[in-house]
Amino acid sequence: MKIDDIALADAETLAPVLLAAIQRLGQLGRSGAVALARQVKDGDADFDEAAEWIADIAAGKLTD
């Protein structure tokens, strides 16, 4: 998937791409986190909401 395709992707298409990206950032450790942090703008409500959902998933609080 190209970055330009993300804006039109549905949840089922985007989820595996996001999972792979998050896993790779995890493998990169702190350098991956710092690279992501450089991309996130302060006060980005969409990012903040997504981060909350990801935290719920990581904690096992979100299921089908």
pLDDT band, residue 1 (cuts 50/70/90): confident
Please give the pLDDT value at position 55: 95
Inter-residue contact 32 to 40 (CB < 8 Å) = no
Inter-residue contact 35 to 26 (CB < 8 Å) = no
Q: How many CB atoms lie within 10 A of CB 32?
A: 15
pTM: 0.82
Average pLDDT over residues 48-57: 95
**Would you say residue 64 has pLDDT above 90?**
no
Q: Tell me the H-state helices in 2-44.
A: 3-6, 11-28, 30-39
